[in-house]
Structure 1
């Protein structure tokens, strides 16, 4: 996870997203982490874009201005004011980070083209970054009416929060058949019906699986013989 956040920090610095940079730094992301392909840090990108606000923000959080990329360049070496005659000498002409080749979907095509050309993004619209959260949603679940009152914990990937997947996981963990399930209830009294209901669940939400018949699946029977008369059955 830390590697992903570090790459997001370099991405935010490259496109001039000051708010996103600040948010990531508040997550204690390593401000001096280097890209494994070209050795650039977030500060390299900030100097390359000439974004003074982000440069100050990174420096305030301990960015090291002496770190060199894999071509031996410090962030200051990439400053446009010092390097305008050699703008294609860096990895930009050979290596294009994935976040520049494939900009987020919310950025339109025109902005995507500007990103590839390396224009200034200090005034571009800022897209808020979603709150970071764990990859899995942890839920508590039990069978309604079971002799065992305890819950068990299950984990569901957040990208797979659908009613069908929730049903499958519950049945597997509780060792019941999906054909037995009448409904899944969010305690105390809310029935889950569709994917949007499942997506609103929060960590450690308590659920009950209500089944259609008793756990043994059989009706009670007796072992006594009987005889039938015209109007009634007499048990012995």
Structure 2
């Protein structure tokens, strides 16, 4: 598959989206690195500031956090702010345990500052940059034939579309996982700051509970009373007592502070 991976880097450098789709559909490894300098297809697309190629590679699952053998990541070699922002956004949305804080800091700096051309330029210049005229003026059909790919554009399209669908499903699962973790964290944070109680009216035909909440910062007996009266629209004068089920009367602030999450309580009123 070496020819496919090298060709992938070449067409990414040249900005040929049609041939890029062909190679991805044929199963080229998006994250393969050049043996000499460690650059990926995303490095070359970023270096040449091809926004559409960078965006497409990212959508297909190319990693923006792979460093070259000189420690250069794709964001470090681009001079396009739009390209850098695309790469940074991808890093922020991707869970990658191998991507350490120092590397992430380097990418952040690359977004806000223009990269020094002397430090970002690789000494290694591949043949397709020294001699770009041949064979890269060839048609997509001739390109596919030369690499031994199917010359049926419909079959190639089906291949890369299927590959893209699988990759997008994986990326969606990562995003959903992140969102789930965030929602769980926010829920636990709110739970920590709030006392939730299950409350119902005693001697009522309605036996189900409703949930009420009281902030931990104001866990007072009077707050509990006011909340219960408000929920059931009861006059204070009709209130007899508030009972912690099954049989304990809540009388003061200390009793309220001993309540646990989702404690069941009853409000008893005059008939």
TM-score, structure 1 as length reference: 0.44
The structure carrying a bigger helix percent of its residues is: 2
Larger radius of gyration: 2
TM-score, structure 2 as length reference: 0.39
